[in-house]
């Protein structure tokens, strides 16, 4: 078990070209290779998507992307997902599994010993850059849904007409947004947030306008006062 010859050769050549005395890639001794070989019980692989690669010259830049010597791009015809950058590419997943089989010796399905796979998440989770906007889970959390169940309490009298908690939304429909009280009006949370931002912007504009108005009044007052003072000075000089 060792780094591939291709990886070692590329790192050595790029390191020497950058003026280093030897490769940036650490070396395994024959004893270390013999000790590591056969010690792993399984290979866990975290796969997101596949990309199309093309040659790119990074000159002497010392970086992982530069060592690859390639740029990447996604095919626009590939299936989209919850993230704009993550495309559905099962063919790419199959190719990497076969590569692992060739390199590490797995042997069953397609020559690859797959023991199982897992989805990303059961419930929608908090993504670093997008919050809960990207839907990755099998299920999503709904405050409206649980509030309705609590309101029904799960016990419906047989003689009554179907309660609202028994009326399911049509497939693909979106549950109504909860309302909030804003300046005495019942509006959705999104509308309330938008209104608050608008009021905040108008307040800033009004404050700036008042400052400019006061500045203009003070400046005009000084200009009107100055000629009167100059006239008085001239009268005093004329008397002498």
Is residue 220 in some structural domain? yes
Range of the domain at 196: 186-240
Model pLDDT for residues 26-83, shown as the tens digit of each residue: 899 999 988 988 887 777 788 889 999 999 988 888 888 888 889 999 998 999 887 8
Residues 81, 88 contacting (CB under 8 angstroms)? yes
How many domains does the structure of the chain reveal? 1
CA-closest candidate to residue 82, choices 121, 135, 130, 128: 135
Is residue 204 in some structural domain? yes
Is residue 201 in some structural domain? yes
Model pLDDT for residues 136-188, shown as the tens digit of each residue: 777 777 777 677 667 777 555 555 666 655 565 555 556 566 777 767 777 77
Q: How many CB atoms lie within 10 A of CB 97?
A: 19
Calpha distance 32→149 (Å, rounded): 61
pTM exceeds 0.75 for this model: no
Is residue 171 in some structural domain? no
CA-closest candidate to residue 61, choices 71, 76, 74: 71
Is residue 25 in some structural domain? no
Is residue 3 in some structural domain? no
Calpha distance 52→72 (Å, rounded): 5
Query: How far separated are the first and last CA of the chain, in Å rounded?
Result: 109
Residues 24, 9 contacting (CB under 8 angstroms)? no
Is residue 210 in some structural domain? yes
Is residue 227 in some structural domain? yes
3-class secondary-structure state, position 89: coil
Residues 165, 147 contacting (CB under 8 angstroms)? no
**DSSP state, residue 172:** T
């Amino acid at each position: 078990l060792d780094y591939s010859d291709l990886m070692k050769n590329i790192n050595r050549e790029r390191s020497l070209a950058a003026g280093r005395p030897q490769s940036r890639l650490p070396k395994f001794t024959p004893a270390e290779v013999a000790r590591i070989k056969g010690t792993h019980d399984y290979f866990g692989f975290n796969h997101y998507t596949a990309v199309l690669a093309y040659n790119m010259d990074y000159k002497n830049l010392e970086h992982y992307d530069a060592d690859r010597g390639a740029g990447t791009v996604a095919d626009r015809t590939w299936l989209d997902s919850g993230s704009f950058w993550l495309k559905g590419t099962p063919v790419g997943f199959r190719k990497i599994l076969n590569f692992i089989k060739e390199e590490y010796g797995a042997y069953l399905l397609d020559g690859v010993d797959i023991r199982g796979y897992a989805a990303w998440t059961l419930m929608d989770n908090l993504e670093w850059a997008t919050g809960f906007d990207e839907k990755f889970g099998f299920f999503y959390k709904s405050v409206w849904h649980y509030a309705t169940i609590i309101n029904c309490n799960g016990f419906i009298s047989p003689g009554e007409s179907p309660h609202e908690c028994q009326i399911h939304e049509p497939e693909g429909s979106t549950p109504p947004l909860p309302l909030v009280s804003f300046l005495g009006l019942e509006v959705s949370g999104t509308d309330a947030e938008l209104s608050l931002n608008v009021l905040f912007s108008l307040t800033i504009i009004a404050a700036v306008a008042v400052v400019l108005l006061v500045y203009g009044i003070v400046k005009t007052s000084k200009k009107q006062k100055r000629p009167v003072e100059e006239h008085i000075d001239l009268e005093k000089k004329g008397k002498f």
